[in-house]
Amino acid sequence: MVSNASKPRIGITTYLEPTTWGIWQREAAILPRVYLDAVAAAGGTPILLPPVGTDVTVLDILDGLVVSGGCDVDPAAYGEDAHPETVDTRPGRDEHERVLIQGALERDLPLLAVCRGLQMLNVTLGGTLHQHLPDVITNDHRGGPGVFATTEIKVEPDSLAGRILGERATGSCYHHQALDVVAPGLKVTARSGDGTIEAAEVEGKDFALGVQWHPEETPEDLRLFTALIRSTQ
């Protein structure tokens, strides 16, 4: 962890996508601005981490890490064949985030993992995923193409998430995968009403928390980002 008088430097994972801006159509490292705004509003300086040239020592100049949401995790990462609904995977991104997650945990660097980030946290530690939630529950955790749904979350009070959010929370969600077999050392600390795992924490770490919803989509409620920033100080 960096020790200085500047704002905490928070790395955020990004992803490579075909992108258009102006007259240009090229592959670029991208990230929704809401992540940047959430980190900045909570008092941090956002630092983008593209999945190219990954070097775990970048963590040594950071005060915290956010693993962002995005596409499906490649099921080969947890030893399964792909479900027909598992599409658009990015194995290179998976490996990039696996290296950073492992490095953050080894350094006890404050870590907030969002949606896919929680899934990657679980897979990195040896867990598996439900590849398509509609196969196992009736609720839809997506509001439609490009539309977030709302989920009500019950949080364990004796947990990091509980100390930050209280016993209940409401989140914006957009996912069709979720944790199945929970990895050793990862403790489930929140669920939605249909039983979907909504938060999990790495045991023995001061701040290593993953949430299945998207807290960056609720700018009026920055408690998770504020808690991440405070944990660096």
**Quick check: 4 pLDDT over 80?**
no
- pLDDT score recorded for residue 138: 80
* Options 96, 130, 175, 214, the catalytic residue: 214
* Options 97, 198, 201, 216, the catalytic residue: 216
What is the distance between the terminal CA atoms of the chain, rounded to a whole angstrom?
9
| pLDDT tens digits, 19-53 | 999 999 999 999 999 999 999 999 999 999 999 99
- 141 classed as catalytic: no
- 85 classed as catalytic: no
| pLDDT tens digits, 97-115 | 999 999 999 999 999 999 9
Provide DSSP, 63-125: SEEEE---SPPPGGGGT-PPPTT--S--HHHHHHHHHHHHHHHHHT--EEEETHHHHHHHHHT
- pLDDT score recorded for residue 140: 78
Contact 128, 78 (CB under 8 A): yes
Contact 66, 117 (CB under 8 A): yes
Choose among 114, 98, 94, 117: nearest CA to 106: 98
What mean pLDDT value characterizes the chain?
Answer: 96
Q: How confident is the model at residue 159 (pLDDT cuts 50, 70, 90)?
A: very high
- Report, as an integer, the average pLDDT of 71-93: 96
* Options 96, 115, 141, 173, the catalytic residue: 115
- 203 classed as catalytic: no
Residue 93 and residue 169: Cα distance in Å, rounded?
30
**Quick check: 183 pLDDT over 60?**
yes
CATH number of the domain located at residue range(s) 9-231 in this protein: 3.40.50.880
